[in-house]
Amino acid sequence: MSTTRSRAEAQSWLAAIHGMRVGVLLSLLTLLLGFSLGGIFGLFEERLKQGFEKAALATLATAADPPSAAEKLVGKSWSYLKRSHLHANGLGTSALAMILLVAGMTAGAGLKRLTAYLLGLGALGYSTFWMLAAFRAPALGTTDLAKESLTWLAIPTVTCCLTGLVLVLGMVVRTLFRRSA
């Protein structure tokens, strides 16, 4: 009897996950981005920094001290690229864990699907924001301009992450703290 029940429960859980497959895929792509950035750092760190420096020197040619200004900008750009790596790994893992948790909640399939989509899209989009800011900064001359030029990506994707988290919290509270009939 317990084997039949556990198979039925597993099928139900898999059906819930299947309904949230886009969010799962986006979360896994976010993890792929994070892991790939880590590998790229190991293989091409100096080349990346040289590319940042070349672009920064060309952009900052009229600065009072171009090499010093470029060095500072390269450092910040590199830290933004590392931030993308960290966000991708952290948000991708968190989004995937929350999606798997949501599969067992008592909410409707549509709300679960929306939540998974928001979490996956938010994780991938926000991590991508930091990566793009890192690559844009040397050509724009400042990290502030790079971030400002990408607010169209940052604000909606952060909103997706936060909205997804609030929805998960609501489902967890509703499922775990509801009164039994």
pTM: predicted TM-score of the whole model, two decimal places: 0.90
How many domains does the chain divide into?
Answer: 1
Q: Where are the alpha helices (DSSP H) in the chain?
A: 2-19, 21-59, 66-102, 109-140, 143-149, 151-177
Answer whether residue 1 is part of any domain.
no
Provide the CA 95 distance to its chain's centre, in angstroms.
8
Answer whether residue 24 is part of any domain.
yes
pLDDT value of position 180: 66
Q: Which of 180, 29, 172 is nearest to 100 (CA)?
A: 172
Determine the 3-state secondary structure of 108 from DSSP: coil
Answer whether residue 168 is part of any domain.
yes
Answer whether residue 135 is part of any domain.
yes
Answer whether residue 4 is part of any domain.
no
Answer whether residue 108 is part of any domain.
yes
Average pLDDT per run of 10 along the chain, which is 181 residues long?
A: 66 85 98 97 94 90 82 94 97 98 92 97 98 96 96 98 98 87 49
pLDDT value of position 99: 97
Burial of 176 (0-12, 13-18, 19+ CB in 10 A): exposed
Q: Domain containing 148: what range?
A: 9-177
pLDDT value of position 7: 76
Answer whether residue 37 is part of any domain.
yes
Provide the CA 159 distance to its chain's centre, in angstroms.
12
Buried b or exposed e, range 116-135, using 16+ CB within 10 angstroms: bbbbbbbbbbbbbbbbbbbb
pLDDT value of position 60: 86
pLDDT value of position 62: 80
Answer whether residue 112 is part of any domain.
yes
